[in-house]
């Protein structure tokens, strides 16, 4: 079971997706805090929840469709940067920084390829026949 988990995790941008999901949860959770903890937010609260939900979807997309990693990484970085302006400083900067790092990890991830087998030697050594 552990071997299957490792194989699944290494076959996709796991850490970038995890940081992206964590950034989305952090950005979306701040406006959903109790009113005693959070100030009244208004339209910024709706934008925060929307941006957080999109970041969560992008993080899951990085895990389950790794062949779209380039688009996912770019969109993640753009939305995390937009959260800096549209929500509470991007989740008090923690969500924006985590989203930018996660987007960079997703964008930069490359799948591992199996090493190519060595080609046969072009001139095999001749074996002398005994007479």
Judged by average pLDDT, the poorest of 6-10, 69-73, 124-128 is: 124-128
Say yes or no to pLDDT of 39 above 80: no
d(CA 62, CA 69): 6
Please tell me the predicted confidence (pLDDT) of residue 52.
Answer: 93
- Band of pLDDT at residue 2, cut at 50, 70 and 90: confident
* Residue 48 exposed, middle or buried by CB count within 10 Å (0-12, 13-18, 19+): buried
Q: Between 86 and 68, whose confidence is greater?
A: 68
Write out pLDDT tens, residues 54-78. Answer: 999 999 999 999 999 999 999 999 9
Residue 17 has pLDDT above 80, yes or no: yes
Q: How many Cα atoms within 13 Å fall on the side-chain side of residue 90?
A: 22
Is the predicted pLDDT of residue 29 greater than 90, yes or no?
no
The model carries a pTM of 0.79
128, pLDDT greater than 80: no
């Amino acid at each position: 079971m552990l071997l299957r988990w490792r194989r699944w995790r290494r076959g996709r941008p796991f850490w970038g997706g995890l940081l992206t999901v964590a950034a989305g949860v952090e950005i979306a959770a701040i406006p959903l805090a109790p009113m005693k903890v959070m100030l009244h937010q208004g339209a910024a609260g709706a934008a925060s929840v929307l941006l957080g939900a999109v970041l969560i979807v992008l993080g899951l997309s990085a895990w389950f469709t790794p062949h779209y990693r380039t688009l996912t990484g770019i969109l993640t970085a753009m939305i995390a940067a937009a959260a800096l302006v549209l929500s509470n400083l991007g989740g008090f900067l923690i969500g924006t920084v985590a989203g930018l790092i996660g987007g960079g990890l997703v964008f930069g991830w490359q799948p591992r390829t199996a090493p190519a087998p060595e080609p046969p030697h072009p001139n095999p050594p001749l074996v002398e026949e005994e007479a």
